[in-house]
Amino acid sequence: IWWLDPELTYGNAKPFVFTQGHSVCNRSFFPCFDTPAVKCTYSATVKAPAGIQVLMSATQSTYLEEEDVYQFYMEYPVPAYLVALVAGDLIHADIGPRSRVWAEPCLLPTAISKLSGMVERWLTAAESLYGPYIWGRYDIVFLPPSFPIVAMENPCLTFIISSILESDEFLIIDVIHEVAHSWFGNAVTNATWEEMWLSEGLATYAQRRITTETYGAAFTCLETAFRLDALHRQMKLLGEDNPVSKLQVKLEPGVNPSNLMNLFTYEKGYCFVYYLSELCGDPRHFDSFLRAYIEKYKFTSVVAQDLLDSFLNFFPELREQCVESKAGLEFERWLNATGPPLAEPDLSQGSSLTRPVETLFKLWTTEPLDSVAAASSVDLTKWRTFQTVLFLDRLLDGSPLPHEVIKKLSECYSSQLDSMNAEIRIRWLQIVVRNDYYPDLYKVRRFLENQMSRMYTIPLYEDLCTGTLKSFALEIFYQTQNQLHPNLRKTIQQILSQGLNPLPAIDTTALTADTPAMVLEDKVSEATNGAISLRDVNVSA
C-alpha cells in the first residue's frame, strides 16, 4: 500500500494512495490466499474523506455521499493479486462507450487527447480475435510517478503511470498489452508464478496481433525488433545458462516471484507462442484455438500442460505429426532450456521501418567516420519513436564510442532529441553519461530535476555511479530527493552508496553545455568544504 503526501502528486493538492498487488503483495493489504491458483469474488467497503475519489478493480460500485462510503463488488472470480484500490484527487471523462479515463485534474485533458476513441478500437479488435470482453467496463486510471511499474492489468481498471503519457507509441503498446491481459492473465491465469509466461507471453502475442490489426504488420515488427534487442541485451548481462531464462523457472522458497519478472517471461514466452502459431500455418487458425482456450478455461488457473494439451487436441493433425517432439524444438526444451528462444519470428514485414535504423547505425559505427554528411541529413523528428529508441539502444550497446563520434552525434542530433519524449531523451542521456560527454551533462541534471519516476531515474543513476560521475549524481540526488517517493530515495541511496566514500559537494548548477571536463575535475578536487555523506541525507522511509 503506497501512501503519498500531496507533494508527490502532480496537483500537489491532496494526498494519494494506491495498492500494487502483483505478485504477492496483497497479503499486506487483506488476509488472502495469495496465490494465482486460487480465485474468488470479492466485495469491499471503503470510507474516505470528502473530496477523495476512491476506485477499485471491481465490476460494480456505489457511493453513499452522506456517509462518504464507497461500496465495490467484483462479480467474477479473480486471484488475490488483481484486487486493487486507488484514492486521491481524481476526476474522469468518458473516452468510449465502455471506457473512461481517470486522472488528476491537471492531467485529464492530456489523457483524453491521447486515448479518446482509441480504447474502444483496441477492445473491438481484441474481441474479433479472442471473443467477447467479459469484464463490462475497461477504465484507465493514471497514477503519480511513484507508481513502481509502468502499468498493471487490474480488471475493469487498468493502472498506468502518468509519466508514459508523453510517449505516444509506448502508451499505445502499454495500454494494448493491458487490454490483452483481460483475456490472458485475468480470465485465464497461470496457476503458479513459476509459469508466469502463460500470462505475459500470451498477452504479448495477443498484443501484437491487436497492433497488427490496428496499425499494420510493419509497426508490430518494429516494436518486436526493439523488444527482442532488449531480450538479447538482458541475456548478455545474465548469461545464457542463467536459470531465470527458463520459461518454467524454479521458484526457491523465500524468493519473491516478482524477482523472476524479466524479458524472458515476456519475449521468450512470446516466441514460443508465436512458434505454436506458425505450426498452424495461419495465425487466424491459432486465433480460433485461443478463443476456444479462453472459453474452456476462463475464470480458472492453468499450467503449461493445459495449454499444450488443448493445442494438440484442437489440431489433431499436428499431434499426428508429433510436433511436440520435433528435434531441437521440443515443447519440453522450449519450457526448460536456458538461453535464447529456440526460434524467433520473421520480422521482414517491418524492414521499411527497421532498415533505416540499421543503415544509420552502420554509418556512425563504421570506421573511418567519413559518412557524417549522410548521417547528419537524417531527420530523426520524422522517425517513429520505436525507430529512434532502437537506434539509440544500439549506440548504447556500443558505448563507450570514440570521442569524435559522440561529439558529432551531439552536433547532429542533440537539439532534435531535446524536444522528444522521455523514452528517447533518457537513452540519449545514458549515451552522454556512458561516454563521459561533459558538454551535454547539464541536460542530465535538468532531466533528473524534472523526473520523479523509477523508470526515468534509476537507469541514469546506475550509469552515473558506474563511471566517473558519482559525485555529480550525489549532488543531483541531494538537491532533488524531497520530490522522490521514500522507496525510490532508498533505492537511489543504495546505488550511490556502493563503494562510496564521503564525497565533496560540487556546485554543478554552474555547469553549462560549454563546461569542459577539466573544469569539472577541478571543481571536484577543490571542493573541500561542505562534504555530503549519505548518513546526512534524509532517505528514511
The architecture CATH gives domain 2-182: 2-Layer Sandwich (3.30)
Question: 300 to each of 295, 311, 492, how far by Cα in Å?
Answer: 10, 17, 40
Q: Residue 100: which region, alpha, beta or left (left: phi > 0; alpha: psi -120 to 50)?
A: beta
Question: 289 to each of 182, 308, 311, 370, how far by Cα in Å?
Answer: 17, 11, 7, 54
Options 1.10.390.10, 3.40.50.620, 3.40.50.300, 1.10.8.590; which CATH number does 191-336 get? 1.10.390.10
Q: Residue 342 carries which DSSP code?
A: S
Mean pLDDT by 10 residues, the chain (541 residues): 95 96 96 97 97 98 96 98 98 98 98 98 98 98 96 98 97 98 98 97 98 98 98 94 94 88 95 98 97 98 98 98 98 98 98 97 84 82 97 96 94 94 98 97 97 96 93 96 94 87 38 34 31 26 23
Q: Residue 497 carries which DSSP code?
A: H
Neighbours of 92 (CB within 10 A): 17
CATH number for the region 348-497 comes to 1.25.40.320
- Annotated binding-site residues read 177, 181, 200
Inter-helix orientation angle 283-297/118-130, to 10°: 90
Q: What is the pLDDT of residue 500?
A: 53
What's the burial of 395, exposed, middle or buried (CB within 10 Å: 0-12/13-18/19+)? buried
Please confirm, yes or no, whether 266 is among the known catalytic residues: yes
Counting every residue written for the chain, the total comes to: 541
Element (H, E) at 261: none
- The strand pair at 60-64 and 139-143 is best described as unpaired
- CA Rg value for the chain: 24
SS3 track for 182-215: CCECCCEEECCHHHCHHHHHHHHHHHHHHHHHHH
Please confirm, yes or no, whether 475 is among the known catalytic residues: no
Return the sign of the alpha-carbon dihedral for residues 503, 504, 509, 511: negative
For residues 408 and 372, give the distance between their C-alpha atoms in angstroms, rounded to a whole number.
8
- The strand pair at 69-79 and 85-88 is best described as unpaired
- Annotated binding-site residues for Zn(2+) read 177, 181, 200
Task: Give the start-to-end residue ranges of the domains of the chain.
Answer: 2-182, 191-336, 348-497
Q: 167 Cβ partners below 8 Å, 6+ apart?
A: 385, 421, 422, 423, 424
Give the DSSP letter string of 353-382.
Answer: HHHHHHHHHHHHHSSS---HHHHHT--GGG
Inter-helix orientation angle 441-449/422-434, to 10°: 140
Helix and strand tally (H, E) in the chain? 21, 14
Of the listed 76, 81, 138, 266, which one is catalytic? 266
Of the listed 104, 169, 178, 194, which one is catalytic? 178
For residues 327 and 20, give the distance between their C-alpha atoms in angstroms, rounded to a whole number.
42
Q: Which of 91, 93, 48 is nearest to 71 (CA)?
A: 48
Beta strands across the sheet bearing 16-18: 2-4, 16-18, 85-88, 53-56
